[in-house]
Amino acid sequence: MQVDVFTAVPCLGNPLAVVLDGSGLSDDAMQRFAHWTNLSETTFVLPPTPEGRAAGADYRVRIFTPGAELPFAGHPTLGTFHAWLAHGGQPLEAGVVRQECGVGLVALRDVGGRTAFAAPPLARSTPDGEHLARVLAALGLAPRQVRATQRLNNGPEWLGLLIDHPDTLWALTPDHAALKALGQKVGVAAQPTDPLLIGRSNREARAFQAGAAMAAAGTVAAPAPGTEAEPDLWVRAFAAPVGVDEDPVTGSLNASLAQWLMAEGHLPDHYTAAQGQALGRDGRVYLSRDASDQVWVGGDVTLCIRGEVTL
């Protein structure tokens, strides 16, 4: 199947290819297919390992970008679950699904009417100053434009940057070759700063400018500005080291950003992030933190393609 994740409207989220029976496929065959799909991620559903089954796993998933395997990723977690369920998957326990992947078991459940996954534990630290300076140079950012930084690792590792303004975010034209040489995936986020409605309108128009250009070229239908309430956080994700210059909507990054920014008091326990507008998409990620400090990452998923693949 191919599903579109973090959107209720087909073609506005992050697509995911799901091979519903990966049994018997070699690592090379999986990587070749993921490279061929040319999507940010492709997943392969497998029976749980004996250890996973003993821990209550409903299924196992392996996650590949065009260039590498990942221990965990967010949009493949939500998308694989929906494809597995649509294919007849039956949870072992009512109300919760446990997915086995490289970081262990990840729980999925309903949160506020949407499926959400439990963000894996986050390791975070202050980035090395020299490395950070090189990353900022590759992004074209001045140090004064950066409000906060953290190295974030919840399976995938990201350098998280909270910057000064959405306009700065939209203006980014990274040197992807430099980021690839540095081996650094970067997540850049900005909070809305102008409370006036006209400010909101102008920001949304700028956010969709790139998407409108793509629509004019016939590559995507751009959403109309103002179709959803303004989010609490705008996000872009640059992942050249794994073969994806800019990812449309990134669950693992949004999970780790939420864990960091909520803990530091930059954002409340419930907020909405938007991502993909610079690519003509309109992804929405719904973040929440419960009483036990567990962060849940939710979003809509749309089934777009059913079929068969020969591998």
Alpha carbon distance 41, 49 (integer Å): 22
DSSP labels for 191-255? -----SHHHHHHHHHHHTHHHHHHHHTTS--PPPTTSSPPPSEEEEEEEGGGTEEEES--HHHHH
DSSP state, 291?
T
* C-alpha distances in Å from residue 289, one per residue of 261, 286, 300: 11, 10, 18
Within 8 A by CB and 6+ apart from 297, the residues are: 74, 78, 116, 117, 119, 251, 254, 255, 258, 285, 286, 287
Our answer to whether residue 41 is catalytic in this structure is: yes
Q: 41, 100, 204, 230: which one is catalytic?
A: 41
Alpha carbon distance 224, 270 (integer Å): 25
Within 8 A by CB and 6+ apart from 87, the residues are: 1, 20
Cite the active site residues.
41
